[in-house]
Structure formats: structure tokens, C-alpha cells
Amino acid sequence: MMTERRDEAGHVPATGSADPLDTELRPGEEPTTTGTLFLVMIILMIIIAIWVILYLRLLDR
């Protein structure tokens, strides 16, 4: 029977590796998501603006 290696806190490493250097991403290689929230907020504001315009146009019928 195979047992999983655990660290001091009792957690199993995410990729099944006991050594952090064997994981898929090293700390310096983690992807950055710099503008994600900014772009999502702009897209949501555009969607809301379209809904408001459609709503106002339907009220004027």
C-alpha cells in the first residue's frame, strides 16, 4: 500500500511532490493577472450600459 507524504501541517503537496522544486510552477514563474479585474469591470459596465439603453428605448415606445 502506498502512503502519501505530508508536510509538518499534514498537507499533501498539490502536485504529489514532496519537494517544492519538483512542482509544476516555481514561485518566480507564477502567472500574473495584472489587468484581469480592470478588464472585467469594463466589460460589466458595457453590458450594464447596453441594458440601460435598451430599457430606456423600450420605455419610449
| pLDDT tens figures, 2-11 | 555 656 666 6
38 part of a folded domain: yes
27 part of a folded domain: no
41 part of a folded domain: yes
Q: Which residue has the cell 430599457?
A: 55
In the chain, helix, strand, coil percent, each to 5? 50, 0, 50
Count CA atoms within 13 Å of residue 17 on its CB side. 9
12 part of a folded domain: no
Global confidence as pTM: 0.48
Q: For the chain, how many structural domains are there in total?
A: 1
pLDDT of amino acid 35 = 83
Which portions of the chain are predicted below pLDDT 50?
1
Domain containing 45 equals 32-61
52 part of a folded domain: yes
pLDDT of amino acid 32 = 72
Asked whether 17 and 23 are in contact (CB, 8 A), the reply is: yes
